[in-house]
Amino acid sequence: MIKLLTLLLEANLTGHYLERKELRGKILDIVLPREAYGGYDLSIVKNKLLPLLQQDLLNALKVVEGGTYGESQKNILGRIVFRPLLEKDGKSYPISLIISTESKTSKGEVYYVIIADNALITFILAPKYDLNQIELSLQSHAKLNKLVKPSKVVDSQSSIFTYNIHKLFDEEIEKEEESKIDPLTLPYKLKTTYRPGSSFTHEKFGTGKITAASSGGSRSGDPDSRGIVDWVEVDFDKPYLKGGEFLKTRKLEKIYSSQYFKESLSEGKQVGTLYHFTDETGIEGILKSNQLLASTTNASHVSLTRDKDGWHVGTLDNIFRISLDGNKISNNYKIQPYSWSQFDRGLGDTESEEAVLTDKITHIKGYIISILIDQSLSRLMGVNIESLINLLKEKNIPYEFK
């Protein structure tokens, strides 16, 4: 019954679309403006970017293929699917993709799908992100295929995929260098948090007031799960000249908190990957609060499992499977195997269950490895996948579809 309803909801994938996807959906190479990668080895940048681009493109297509398009009964739609950008120092640059077409290679910056009568007709890589040109292409396609319908370009923020070039390399640098940091060598006074309005003491600039800060927790200035605040902006009451103008504040990046050094000294046990299954409301709450709460208000533990296939234990709403780094969790929380009867549930033993002995796991983003989405069930339950994907992209959390 579930499969039948899912098929009725899905858009039709024409043979022509599938052929074009198979050929044009393989990214062979990329072209970047020099200013987008200056300071980095281009070949290494490409090696890091290409697999990310390919996976994100496939994920974006799965979302579109699982949609329904009632509007396509009256209009021929050009749905923008994938527009990748490379970010460097606050500026975004288009990534040109090189693909094979029927007779040659082609280069373009944005993919779109043509949809008519709730069917995906074809898959196109446009040379530039130019909605007027895409509109003209739609009209030409409609005329060629004798489709007597007005054309309409559909665009949204979910089609934009941004890749920060510094972050592509920062993770490796952090792994190599963070273990070497001595808190006594830091040029500023170590604090637990760096919230706006609080003081900040720097050996070079003196003492000032924090005016703004990134957020790794529930409030601006709270460290993330590593114990690091990405940046703080401080007014030291010492204006200075930069770029031909006087500035009042200084932006300082990668600020360590006392939490970082406490966590780096702790030793956890080897637990491996743990899983948490949840519904639409649950995943949204987890991502927005950056916390994983116990299932009931008075519970003494957060329940996780080692069973990656435990999708629908107890409810059909478990659309999302969160994969968590159990080793990292054990650095900060006590974990022990348990059975339901151990916690007075009287439901028997479950060998794969693990109890994290706390009423909530904070800074949960730092423990998330990836999130797997049951796409068929999400459609059946009417879940707004696009808004959740935007949230996952905003939080820079990897995801894939089942």
pLDDT digits (tens, 9 = 90+) for 116-142: 889 999 999 999 999 999 999 888 887
Q: In the prediction, which pLDDT does 8 show?
A: 41
Residue type (1 letter), 197: G
For the residues 296-319, what does the mean pLDDT come to? 72
Q: Can you name the residues that pair with 207 across neighbouring β-strands?
A: 201
Q: Within this chain, do residues 15 and 144 fall inside the same structural domain, yes or no?
A: yes
Alpha carbon distance 285, 20 (integer Å): 39
State how many domains the chain has: 3
Please name which of 268, 261, 224 lies closest in space to residue 365, comparing C-alpha atoms: 224
Higher-confidence residue of 153 and 299: namely: 153
Higher-confidence residue of 307 and 147: namely: 307
Is the pLDDT at 176 greater than 60? The verdict is: no
In a domain, 273, yes or no: yes
Higher-confidence residue of 219 and 37: namely: 37
Of 217-221, 235-239, 341-345, the poorest mean pLDDT is in: 341-345
Q: Are 292 and 286 in contact (CB under 8 A)?
A: yes
Alpha carbon distance 374, 378 (integer Å): 6
Higher-confidence residue of 171 and 205: namely: 205
In a domain, 27, yes or no: yes
Segment 353-362, tens digit of pLDDT: 888 888 889 8
Is the pLDDT at 6 greater than 50? The verdict is: no
Q: Within this chain, do residues 8 and 156 fall inside the same structural domain, yes or no?
A: yes
Q: Within this chain, do residues 81 and 125 fall inside the same structural domain, yes or no?
A: yes
Range of the domain at 243: 181-264
Residue type (1 letter), 96: S
Percent of the chain past pLDDT 90, that is, above it, reads 36
In a domain, 28, yes or no: yes
Higher-confidence residue of 202 and 299: namely: 202
Q: Within this chain, do residues 324 and 208 fall inside the same structural domain, yes or no?
A: no
Percent of the chain past pLDDT 70, that is, above it, reads 85
In a domain, 174, yes or no: no
Alpha carbon distance 250, 273 (integer Å): 40
For the residues 153-160, what does the mean pLDDT come to? 86
Alpha carbon distance 154, 80 (integer Å): 6
Alpha carbon distance 350, 343 (integer Å): 12
CB crowding 250-266: b at 16 or more within 10 Å, else e? bebeebbbebbeebeee
For the residues 108-117, what does the mean pLDDT come to? 94
Higher-confidence residue of 39 and 211: namely: 211
Q: In the prediction, which pLDDT does 378 show?
A: 80
Segment 50-81, tens digit of pLDDT: 999 999 999 889 888 888 888 888 888 999 99
Alpha carbon distance 255, 223 (integer Å): 9
Q: In the prediction, which pLDDT does 350 show?
A: 46
Confidence at 10, pLDDT banded by 50, 70, 90: low
Q: Within this chain, do residues 76 and 154 fall inside the same structural domain, yes or no?
A: yes
Q: In the prediction, which pLDDT does 311 show?
A: 60
Is the pLDDT at 5 greater than 70? The verdict is: no
In a domain, 175, yes or no: no
Residues 6+ apart with CB under 8 A from 170: none
Residue type (1 letter), 365: K
Alpha carbon distance 255, 193 (integer Å): 10
Q: Are 152 and 71 in contact (CB under 8 A)?
A: yes
Residue 222, phi then psi, degrees to nearest 5:
-80, 140
Q: Within this chain, do residues 35 and 154 fall inside the same structural domain, yes or no?
A: yes
Q: Within this chain, do residues 254 and 285 fall inside the same structural domain, yes or no?
A: no
Asked which of 166, 193, 221 is the last residue of a domain, the reply is: 166
Asked which of 166, 193, 215 is the last residue of a domain, the reply is: 166
In a domain, 314, yes or no: yes
Q: In the prediction, which pLDDT does 126 show?
A: 95
Q: Within this chain, do residues 234 and 273 fall inside the same structural domain, yes or no?
A: no
Q: In the prediction, which pLDDT does 345 show?
A: 42
In a domain, 151, yes or no: yes
Segment 12-35, tens digit of pLDDT: 899 999 999 999 999 999 999 999
Q: Within this chain, do residues 154 and 211 fall inside the same structural domain, yes or no?
A: no
Place of tokens 């509007």: 71
Q: Give the CATH number of the domain where residue 287 resides.
A: 3.20.170.20
Is the pLDDT at 371 greater than 80? The verdict is: yes
Cβ neighbours, 10 Å, residue 325: 18
Residue 47, phi then psi, degrees to nearest 5:
-60, -35
**CA 242 centroid distance within chain:** 34
- Tell me the average pLDDT of the chain: 83
Alpha carbon distance 361, 375 (integer Å): 27
Asked which of 231, 264, 297 is the last residue of a domain, the reply is: 264
Say whether 380 sits in a helix, a strand or coil. helix
Higher-confidence residue of 202 and 183: namely: 202
Alpha carbon distance 80, 157 (integer Å): 10
